[in-house]
Amino acid sequence: MGAVDIQRPLRAEAPAGKPRLSKSALAENIAGYVFISPWIIGFIIIEIGPLLAALYFSLTNYDILSETKFIGLRNYEKLLFNDPLFWLSLKVTALYSVGSVSLHIIFGVLLALMLNQNLRGMAFYRTVYYLPAVVSGVAVAYMWIWVLNKEAGILNTGLGYLGIDGPNWLFSIEWVLPAFVAISLWNLGGGMVLYLAALQGVPTQLYEAAEIDGAGWWPRTWHVTIPLISPVIFFNFIIGIIGSFQVFTAAYVITQGGPANSTLFYVLYLYRNAFENFKMGYASALAWVLFLVIMALTVLSFRVSGRWVYYEGQLR
């Protein structure tokens, strides 16, 4: 960038006044819009249109069966003041989000540090840890139901070797969310790959300099490595939060929201309102709240990120 800016003043100044499009510039403009036209159509039909339509539906009692009427903010009023399940689903999702995202970051970075060593067989190990990130969905859900089975499951068998009497994971109000967090941790490899790439981008001189200053492993990691990979940690953080607010398949297949609604994830609640009870208006209000929550979390994260995310080449 800098180099280009220096060149600029050497060129002749463009004539003042309203810039007019030359023939080739006009052609280029047309070409540009032709190339991006699929996205423009998609943006209108499957993104912004439905988003606004959902906002409109959220102000109605739309339920497919009865006549649709405009009811103002009544859906939102009900949701905020008269629907304990809404708050419960938010709580379930937030608890899961905090547990899953924080553990993903801690273990993901640790794992990447482990796998960043110069050892024989590292490529193979990385493959092994990444493997679970490739599969997902219903098949994985059934696999976990069986792994977490109280008596015949392999997890409690393993805990039994250690003398621990494992709980009935998926049917226990206290243990079911931790079980979901554990299931999500199985996918550690996805984030790990990003951390690995970031670690490989850390200049070795910095480590050498730190070592000459007498810094051991921990100070080197904490003061050199972590700040330098913080943009990737931040990226994973945002993706993780957004992802945790979209959990559906696991909750729908593994526990159907139970026991006693303790895995009533937000999107599961939304799905039930919309496609099981056909309360489309109310579900649209839920959808908009989800949208606002995700937007607020994203914007907030970017605001706060300046304080602790280090971007190389950035002036402080």
CA 6/CA 3 separation, integer angstroms: 5
Q: Residue type at 123?
A: A
Minimum gap (Å) between residue 14 Cβ and another protein: 15
* Distinct helix (H) and strand (E) counts, the chain: 16, 0
CA 184/CA 252 separation, integer angstroms: 15
Distances (CA, A) of 284 to 3, 74, 193, 248, 290: 50, 12, 36, 17, 10
Of 27, 248, 23, the C-alpha closest to 137 is 248
Minimum gap (Å) between residue 302 Cβ and another protein: 11
> Which is closer to another protein, CB of 95 or CB of 185?
185
Minimum gap (Å) between residue 203 Cβ and another protein: 15
> Which is closer to another protein, CB of 53 or CB of 260?
53
Minimum gap (Å) between residue 132 Cβ and another protein: 6
> Which is closer to another protein, CB of 177 or CB of 192?
192
Minimum gap (Å) between residue 133 Cβ and another protein: 9
Which of 144-182 are b and which e, b meaning 16 or more Cβ less than 10 Å from the residue's Cβ? beebbbeeebebbeeeeeeeeebbbbbeeeebbbebbbb
> Which is closer to another protein, CB of 114 or CB of 260?
114
> Which is closer to another protein, CB of 16 or CB of 212?
212
